[in-house]
């Protein structure tokens, strides 16, 4: 076995949060493994079922349905993984340390509170970024591999987040918000609940306003019409020039996604800043 020449403080942080490290690593590996299995083992059978159905009256599309449903689950897991991060950061990473007094134990070893908090944030941030990036890349590949078997599109709330860096941004934001909540409340269970609620609320608000993060396009017509699939329709109505629909084409995915990522990262930066400003008041 190789011994890594990690400095003492990061090594201690990893030792303390070994369980979380293992859970996160297992989650990332399991989700990627599941995607690979779905797309290499089951997708072909799903495609054969669909092909058979085109020429027969009665047919079975169970494998195709399972493929679609499970890929949907994976998108949900990847997108909302930040909720688990928020709970963990509020409770296990910081809250428990403050409640049980073990933070004081660290601060009376040769470690200042600022270095302690830096290590406590930097290491999880690194691992969340690495794991989150792997999840996003895997999901982008898996989600686009067999579009003909899938019933969803890019506008679905979880698919929208899981297909880009917003997944990583939400994870980092959950880490910062959980830390800030724990520093404010200093008790494990309330910090867990409040940081979870705060991150859920942030996601809820951004999800509601996602459509306004980029200017919409408008299509008008003298007669009633429907947009084709793959466009995100926002409003629809009847005005002076006839019927109109405002919508986002798929090319708006990246600008909208990056605006949301930027907002989430700004919240994360703000929460981190306040957490560090709060620390000297909690101790020297």
Partner 1 sequence: MTDTAGLALEATAVGRRFGARWKAPAWALRDCTFKLAAGRVCAVVGPNGAGKSTLLALAAGLLVPTEGTVTVLGTDPASARTRVGYVAQDKPLYPQLTVAETLRMGADLNPGRWDAATGERIVADGGLDPAARVRSLSGGQRTRVALALALAKRPELLLLDEPMADLDPLARHELMGVLMAQAAQHGTTIVMSSHVVAELEGSCDHLLLIGGGRVRLSGEIDDLLAAHVRVSGLAETSLDPHTVVEARTTGRQLTALVRPSGPLPESLRTSTPSLEELVLSYLRNPQAPGTTPAEHEKAAI
Which residues here bind partner 1, judged by CB under 8 A? 8-9, 11-12, 15-16, 18-19, 100-102, 104-112, 283-284
Which residue, 64 or 182, has its beta carbon nearer to partner 1? 182
Phi–psi pair at 217, nearest 5 degrees: -100, 155
Shortest distance in whole angstroms from residue 71 CB to partner 1: 36
Which residue, 100 or 220, has its beta carbon nearer to partner 1? 100
Phi–psi pair at 280, nearest 5 degrees: -60, -25
User: Checking DSSP bridges between strand 217-221 and strand 232-239, what pairing results, if any?
Assistant: unpaired
Q: Are the CB atoms for 129 and 168 separated by under 8 Å?
A: yes
Shortest distance in whole angstroms from residue 131 CB to partner 1: 22
Q: Are the CB atoms for 178 and 85 separated by under 8 Å?
A: yes
DSSP code per residue over 172-229: HHHHHHHHHHHHHH--HHHHHHHHHHHHHHHHHHHHHHGGGSSPPEEEEESS---PPT
Q: Are the CB atoms for 163 and 143 separated by under 8 Å?
A: yes
Shortest distance in whole angstroms from residue 122 CB to partner 1: 16
Which residue, 65 or 111, has its beta carbon nearer to partner 1? 111
**3-class DSSP assignment, residue 232:** strand
Shortest distance in whole angstroms from residue 9 CB to partner 1: 7
- For CA atoms 196, 198, 202, 205, give the dihedral sign: positive
Shortest distance in whole angstroms from residue 15 CB to partner 1: 6
Rounded to the nearest 10 degrees, the angle between the axes of helix 188-209 and helix 62-88 is 130
Shortest distance in whole angstroms from residue 109 CB to partner 1: 4
Which residue, 91 or 256, has its beta carbon nearer to partner 1? 91
Strand-pair partners of 233: 247
Shortest distance in whole angstroms from residue 264 CB to partner 1: 31
Which residue, 104 or 277, has its beta carbon nearer to partner 1? 104
Rg over alpha carbons for the chain, rounded to the nearest Å, is: 23
DSSP code per residue over 25-80: HHHHHHHHHHHHHIIIIIHHHHHHHHHHHTT-SS---HHHHHHHHHHHHHHHHHHH
Which residue, 67 or 116, has its beta carbon nearer to partner 1? 116
Which residue, 113 or 262, has its beta carbon nearer to partner 1? 113
Shortest distance in whole angstroms from residue 281 CB to partner 1: 8
Which residue, 18 or 209, has its beta carbon nearer to partner 1? 18
Distance CA 278, CA 258 (A): 30
């Amino acid at each position: 076995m190789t011994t890594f020449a990690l400095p003492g403080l990061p090594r201690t942080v990893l030792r303390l949060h070994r369980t979380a490290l293992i859970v996160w690593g297992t989650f990332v590996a399991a989700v990627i493994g599941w995607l690979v299995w779905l797309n290499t083992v089951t997708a072909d059978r799903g495609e054969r079922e669909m092909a058979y159905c085109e020429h027969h009256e009665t047919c079975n599309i169970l494998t195709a349905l399972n493929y679609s449903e499970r890929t949907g689950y994976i998108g949900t897991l990847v997108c909302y993984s930040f909720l688990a991060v928020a709970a963990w950061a509020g409770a296990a990473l910081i809250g428990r340390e403050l409640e049980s007094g073990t933070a004081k134990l660290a601060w009376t070893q040769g470690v200042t509170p600022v270095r302690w908090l830096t290590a406590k944030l930097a290491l999880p941030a690194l691992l969340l970024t690495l794991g989150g990036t792997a999840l996003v890349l895997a999901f982008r590949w898996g989600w686009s591999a067999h579009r003909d078997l899938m019933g969803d599109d890019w506008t679905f709330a979880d698919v929208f987040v899981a297909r880009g860096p917003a997944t990583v941004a939400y994870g980092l934001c959950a880490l910062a918000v959980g830390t800030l909540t724990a520093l404010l409340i200093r008790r494990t269970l309330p910090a867990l609940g409040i940081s979870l609620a705060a991150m859920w609320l942030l996601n809820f608000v951004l999800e509601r306003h996602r459509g306004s993060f980029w200017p919409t396009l408008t299509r008008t017509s003298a007669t009633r019409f429907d947009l084709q699939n793959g466009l995100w329709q926002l409003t629809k109505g009847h005005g002076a020039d006839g019927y109109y629909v405002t919508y986002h084409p798929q090319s708006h995915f990246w600008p909208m996604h990056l605006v949301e990522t930027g907002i989430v990262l700004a919240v994360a930066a703000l929460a981190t800043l306040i957490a560090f400003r709060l620390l000297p008041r909690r101790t020297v």
